[in-house]
Amino acid sequence: MIRFLIKGLLRDRARSLLPFATVVLGSFLTVVGFNWINGALSSMVESSANFSTGHVKVMSRAYAAEADQAPNDLAFEGVRALVAGLERDHPGLVWTPRIKFGGLIDIPDGNGETRAQGPAAGLAVELRSPASPERRLLNLEKAVVRGRLPEAPGEILVGDAFASRLGIGPGSTATLIGSTMYGGLAVRNFVVAGTVRFGVTAMDRGAVLADIADIQAALDMEDAAGEVLGFFRDSPYRDRDAIALAAAFNAAHAGEAGDFAPEMVTLRDQSGLAQMLDLVTSVYSLMLFVFILVMSIVLWNAGLMGSLRRYGEFGIRLALGEDKGRLFRSLLAEGLAIGLLGSLVGTALGLGASYYLQTKGIYVGAMMRNASVFISDVLRARVTPASWFIGFVPGLAATFLGRAVSGIGIYKRQTSRLAKEFEG
């Protein structure tokens, strides 16, 4: 019987070609879509963590309440002791302090008069410390377009597009005009050591990177920082571990009174990322459901047409005494064989396309000019172990459902009327 079914599938293309092509296309689109969404999601999480949120972040309670405004007047003091304590109590994470600051970048001419100005979104990190993880997290070695990384006090990095608008380059003098931690006027001259491009529009628009010691001196923030970011050493962001860590930390400091007691939040708790991550997950789940539904309808129709063409075959097999249940199961077996083979081919094609998109990516910078989320201008697919199996879900489910629905007609055949059907 198995040989009979296989020969029937191979010889009768109308019986297997359309279902096979449908399964291949559905599995291919499912694999590529899954990997593409997974890559975009991973890019958003990784970029947000590296440039803004960390996997977890420690701030003062008052700062955390207004974190989107980066209120340095509410920054945490005694940051060196805080970082030392975090490194001692949580050695599985890398901890690094940062200061977000804003202000006006003033470019003087040869006479010291203003030649150009522009608003800057500044980030102060440990640039010059050899033990700092910041060069790796921000990928600074590859981000430099012109010049070099800061080596001496008073040197900064400026976004390449921002520097071009201001007409400056390596060696130029730039004056930062902002406000101190206590609300006073802060004016400090810096030398541009180099220009950078991160490939993240939200950072590149007006980025200024400085060593945290220079900004602490400029903004009267001695031993203070707005944020201390933590990153898992051994893997990307793990939501469950981050939530457990934040809950334990906050419980340990719950007894400390005042607005400047430390508070820890996770990546999901910041910048509306929880809603965005949940939305992306829901979109993919909906996409997978739609694929299964559409493919099932197509395969159901194909099964109905095939049943009409095979009406006589089914009648003869029933007349010869074949049980209806066995005939129905053989129909399901045919569908699952087509689904398995089609899923294999579709998954193979989908993985090939996904690996290409993972390597090359697609530039979407033109669409991200006004984006406020931290996501790379080049979106890439991301192939994971689940990518090797996800294509079989719609491929097998759709063929099974399609054959099951279309094969119900077998049970409606009246065995007593078979002879009369053949006479007609």
Give per-residue pLDDT as tens, 365-423: 655 555 555 666 677 888 888 888 888 887 787 777 777 776 666 656 666 565 555 55
* pLDDT, mean of residues 313-323: 67
Distance CA 97, CA 45 (A): 20
* pLDDT, mean of residues 195-218: 84
Structure confidence at residue 46 (pLDDT):
83
Structure confidence at residue 138 (pLDDT):
87
Distance CA 212, CA 235 (A): 26
* pLDDT, mean of residues 291-310: 64
Distance CA 26, CA 391 (A): 8
Model confidence, pTM: 0.74
**124 by DSSP, 3-state: which?**
strand
CA atoms within 13 A on the CB side of 410: 27
Q: What's the angle, vertex CA 361, arms to CA 355 and CA 366, rounded to 5? A: 160
Say if CB 142 and CB 160 are below 8 A apart.
no
Burial class (CB within 10 angstroms; exposed 0-12, middle 13-18, buried 19+) of 185? exposed
* pLDDT, mean of residues 205-229: 90
Distances 333 to 338, 394, 399, 415 between C-alpha atoms, Å: 9, 16, 10, 23
* pLDDT, mean of residues 251-280: 82
Say if CB 19 and CB 266 are below 8 A apart.
no
**259 by DSSP, 3-state: which?**
coil
Structure confidence at residue 216 (pLDDT):
93
How sure is the predictor about 11, in pLDDT bands with cuts at 50, 70 and 90? Answer: low
Distance CA 373, CA 396 (A): 38
Structure confidence at residue 95 (pLDDT):
94
Say how far residue 140 (Cα) sits from the centre of its chain: 21
Distance CA 73, CA 65 (A): 13
Structure confidence at residue 42 (pLDDT):
80
Structure confidence at residue 57 (pLDDT):
94
Tokens representing residue 224 in the block: 């203070």
Taking all residues of the chain, what is their mean pLDDT, rounded to a whole number?
81
